[in-house]
Structures are given as C-alpha cells and as structure tokens.
C-alpha cells in the first residue's frame, strides 16, 4: 500500500469520526430543545441567543462601553442561570437518565395497550364525576416530569373506581391533583406552587382550573379538570384549554397525545375551539364593560 493510499484512508477515517461527532452533538442539541420547548427554559434560550448576538454586534460595531458591560455579564451568567433555573435543569437531567427518553429518540414507542386501557378508565371516571358534580384535577405526564414528591405517593394502576374514590368529597386526598405517568397513578393530593395568571381565563374558571392550565404552561403535560359547579370537563394542553369537552373528544385527544397516533386535524380543531373560546370570552368582557359604562 502506497503512502498516498494510507493518507487517503486516514483522511477518510478522520472525516467519518468528525461526521459521527457532529451528528451526536446535533442530536443532543435537538433533544434538549425539544425538552425545553414550551417551558421557561425555551424563552431563556432565545434570550441567550439575543444576548450573544448583541455581544457580537457590539464588538463588530466597536461599541466599547456596551461590549465591556456585556462581556462582564458573561462571567456571572452561568452561575445566575443555574440558581434561577435549578428545577428545570434537574428535570432535564432526570429526563435524560430515563429509558423513555432514549426509546422515544430512536422511534421506539411505549406499549400502547396499557396506556389506552388507562385512557378509557380515566375518561369513564371523568364522565361519572362530571355527572355527579365532583370536582377533579387530573394531570397526565408526557415527557416532562410534573410529580416531584409533594403529594401522597400511590404507584397504582389507573382505574375508574380508584380515581372516583380519590376525588370523592369525603376522601382525605380529594383536594389537590392526581398525577398520572404512563398507565399508573403516581401521586395524589398534589398542590402546584404556581397557578396561571392568564387574563383570558374566564371568571367562571377558578383555582382548580388555573392550577391545571398553569401546569401545562410550564410542561408538556395534559390537564383534565372537572368543575364541581357546572359539571363541565375542561382539557388543557400547552397553556390552551377546551371547555365543555365531551367524552369521545377527550378520549381522542388523550390517545393522540399519549400513544403517538397523531390526528392533526382533530387536534387543530380542538385547539381552535379552545382559542375561539378565549376570543369569545374577550368579546363578552368587552360587551359587559361597555354595558357598565352606559349604565354609569
């Protein structure tokens, strides 16, 4: 083998290693962006990109004072980010350490049958609680972990009788949320530290609804809320909500989001209904405000 052939093989091997290295880095960045999407961390990433761009432009345009200030901030930035976003960083590390993260990354979907069975149990429970005017908040995890050990640990298979027993007014666990992970109920009587401050939430939706919508604003979970006043079922995803959803639509929505059997038109229609409800509430508030002004 001539020296030229050896050099060519060495270069080819080096390029293959570089390509693998680049693909691995791109894959990790892509997965981290998916984890951060829809959370506060995603907004922070956008802010960091703007900061880096401003630092670069201040250097190119020779804005020495601004560049000096921005450069000094870079020394304290990492420490400040770790302090401010410790829960999000912990959630990312926990997610990376779970088998489901890598299974979903390589297209290996979880078993559909247990989850579909749990969906039917949850829908049946919600339907009966809505009929009996029993308030409930059920939060179903997807990729982001919501349960942090703040409630009562159960680790029980999801079933309609168990859910109705938990939310029965005489139960010590009825006040708070139930967290589902896969086909299991992992915690009950969970209280979320923050509730949604979205001004578009109607006045008829109180603390339970705001807590359910709020948790979907910071994670990719699904919240199902039953109103004890009206018996209406509300489903919330990504900070948007659909009021007065029926059992069939709720079952489809949960199947689409939890088993990966995506039906984009159904989801778009349901989210469109949610957004139209938000727009309708705005119009109603404006009309009520105008009526008050006329009477005054």
**Domain CATH code at residue 142:** 3.40.1700.10
pLDDT at 82: 66
pLDDT of 207-228, one tens digit each?
999 999 999 988 889 999 999 9
Kindly state whether residues 87 and 125 are assigned to the same domain. no
Model pLDDT for residues 53-87, shown as the tens digit of each residue = 888 888 888 888 888 888 877 777 777 666 666 66
Same domain (yes/no): 118, 232: yes
Which pLDDT value is given to residue 23?
85
Q: Is 81 or 242 the better-scoring residue by pLDDT?
A: 242
Domain that holds residue 251: 112-287
- pLDDT score, position 7: 66
Residue 293 forms part of a structural domain: no
List helix spans (H) across the chain: 3-36, 40-60, 64-84, 86-97, 99-105, 112-131, 160-167, 207-218, 247-259, 264-295
Joined together, the tokens standing for residue 39 give 């959370």
pLDDT band of residue 274 (cuts 50, 70, 90) is: very low
Domain stops at, among 105, 135, 162: 105
Note whether 82 and 122 are same-domain residues.
no
The reply to whether 295 falls in a domain is: no
For residue 143, what pLDDT band results from cuts at 50, 70 and 90?
Answer: confident
45 and 7 share a domain? yes
Q: Are 276 and 141 in contact (CB under 8 A)?
A: no
Is position 292 within any domain? no
What pLDDT band is residue 267 in, cutting at 50, 70 and 90?
very low
Q: Is the pTM of this model over 0.85?
A: no
Where is average pLDDT lowest: 68-72, 236-240, 266-270?
A: 266-270
Residue 186 domain-assigned? yes
Share of the chain above pLDDT 90, in %: 31
Mean pLDDT of 171-180: 91
165 plus 144 within the same structural domain: yes
Q: How far is CA 18 from CA 8, 21, 28, 106, in A?
A: 15, 5, 15, 21
Answer whether 251's CB lies under 8 Å from 119's CB.
Answer: yes
Same domain? For 93 and 220 the reply is no
- Residue 236: pLDDT band (50, 70, 90) is very high
pLDDT, residue 268, reads 44
- Residue where a domain terminates, one of 105, 131, 158: 105
Summarised one tens digit per residue, pLDDT across range 86-124 is: 665 666 565 555 545 555 554 444 567 889 999 999 999
DSSP-derived letter for residue 194 is -
Mean per-residue pLDDT of the chain? 78
Please state the φ and ψ torsions of residue 267, each to the nearest 5 degrees.
Answer: -65, -40
Based on the structure, what is the number of domains in the chain? 2
182 in Cβ contact with 114 (< 8 Å): yes
42 vs 60, residue with greater confidence: 60
Q: Is the pLDDT of residue 272 over 80?
A: no
Domain-embedded: residue 92: yes
CB 161, CB 168: distance < 8 Å: no
User: Distance (Å, rounded) from C-alpha 42 to C-alpha 39?
Assistant: 5
pLDDT, average across residues 159-172: 93
- 148 in a domain, yes or no? yes
Position 22 scores a pLDDT of 85
pLDDT at 2: 65
List, in order, residues 6 or more apart from 273 with CB less than 8 Å away.
Answer: 242
HSE on the CB side for 112, CA within 13 Å? 9
| Nearest CA-CA partner of 126 in 114, 140, 113 | 140
The pLDDT of residue 290: 59
Burial class, 50, CB count within 10 angstroms (exposed 0-12 / middle 13-18 / buried 19+): exposed
């Amino acid at each position: 083998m001539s020296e030229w052939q050896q050099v060519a093989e060495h270069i080819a091997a080096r390029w293959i290693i570089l390509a693998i290295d680049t693909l691995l880095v791109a894959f990790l960045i892509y997965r981290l962006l998916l984890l951060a999407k829809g959370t506060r961390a995603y907004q922070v990433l956008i802010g960091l990109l703007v900061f880096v761009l401003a630092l670069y432009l201040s250097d190119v345009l020779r804005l020495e004072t601004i560049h000096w200030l921005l450069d000094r901030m870079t020394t304290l930035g990492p420490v400040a980010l770790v302090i401010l976003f410790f829960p999000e960083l912990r959630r990312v590390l926990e997610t990376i350490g779970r088998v489901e993260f890598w299974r979903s990354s390589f297209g290996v979907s979880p078993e559909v049958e247990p989850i579909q069975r749990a969906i039917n149990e949850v829908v049946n429970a919600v339907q009966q609680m809505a009929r009996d005017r029993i308030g409930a908040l059920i939060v179903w995890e997807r990729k982001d972990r919501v349960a942090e050990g703040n409630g009562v640990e159960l680790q029980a298979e999801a079933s309609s009788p168990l859910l109705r027993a938990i939310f029965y007014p005489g139960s010590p666990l009825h006040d708070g949320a139930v967290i589902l992970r896969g086909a299991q109920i992992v915690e009950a009587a969970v209280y979320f530290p923050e509730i949604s401050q979205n001004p578009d939430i109607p006045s008829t939706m109180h603390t339970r609804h705001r807590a359910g919508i709020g948790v979907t604003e910071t994670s990719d979970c699904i919240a199902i809320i039953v109103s004890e006043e009206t018996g209406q079922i509300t489903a919330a995803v990504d900070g948007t909500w659909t009021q007065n959803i029926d059992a069939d639509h709720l079952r489809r929505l949960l199947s689409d989001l939890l088993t990966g059997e995506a039906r984009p038109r159904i989801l778009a229609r349901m989210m469109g209904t949610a957004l139209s409800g938000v727009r309708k509430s705005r119009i109603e508030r404006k009309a009520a405000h105008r009526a008050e002004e006329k009477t005054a």
